[in-house]
């Protein structure tokens, strides 16, 4: 009976995770170095070096709404991280020209 209850709990958890609202996170890179972005420890995407600051970005549409840990890694780039709340409108992460990471939720203007 316990095994059946555990199976039901596991299956329900999977269904809830699949039906959880999804949003996008956009990752901008204004630095002169190529960077890799990670969400909750999982590789998400790479953005090429962008010394011209011309809107180089990548994005993911698989982030669930809620709090996530984001970090950035790259050659000779200090390891940085931040927590961001991904709203239903999404979130954005910016690595500035000075190689400082900034995280923000999108807030829909009304």
Question: Quick check: pTM over 0.85?
Answer: no
Are 40 and 26 in contact, with CB atoms under 8 Å apart? no
Task: Write the pLDDT tens digit of every residue in 60-74.
Answer: 878 899 999 999 999
Distance of alpha carbon 91 from alpha carbon 93, whole angstroms: 7
Q: Which domains are assigned to the chain?
A: 21-105 (2.60.40)
Task: Write the pLDDT tens digit of every residue in 12-40.
Answer: 444 444 556 888 899 999 999 999 999 99
Task: Write the pLDDT tens digit of every residue in 66-109.
Answer: 999 999 999 888 889 999 999 888 999 999 999 999 999 876 65
Which residues are paired to 83 by β-bridges? 69
If DSSP codes are grouped into helix, strand and coil, which group holds residue 102? strand
Comparing CA positions, the residue from 39, 105, 30, 24 lying closest to residue 72 is 39
Distance of alpha carbon 63 from alpha carbon 20, whole angstroms: 10
Please report the DSSP string for 18-73 in residue order: HHS-EEEEEEEE-SSS-EEEEETTEEEEEE---TT----EEEEEEEESEEEEEEEE
């Amino acid at each position: 009976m316990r095994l059946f209850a555990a199976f039901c709990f596991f299956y329900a958890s999977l269904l809830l995770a699949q039906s959880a609202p999804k949003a996008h996170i956009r990752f901008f890179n204004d630095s002169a170095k190529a960077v890799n972005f990670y969400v909750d420890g999982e590789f998400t995407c790479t953005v090429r070096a962008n010394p011209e600051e011309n809107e180089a970005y990548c994005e993911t549409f698989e982030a669930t709404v809620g709090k996530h840990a984001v970090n950035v890694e790259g050659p000779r780039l200090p390891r940085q991280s931040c927590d961001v709340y991904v709203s239903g409108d999404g979130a954005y992460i910016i690595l500035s020209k000075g190689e400082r990471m900034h995280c923000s939720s999108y807030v829909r203007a009304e």
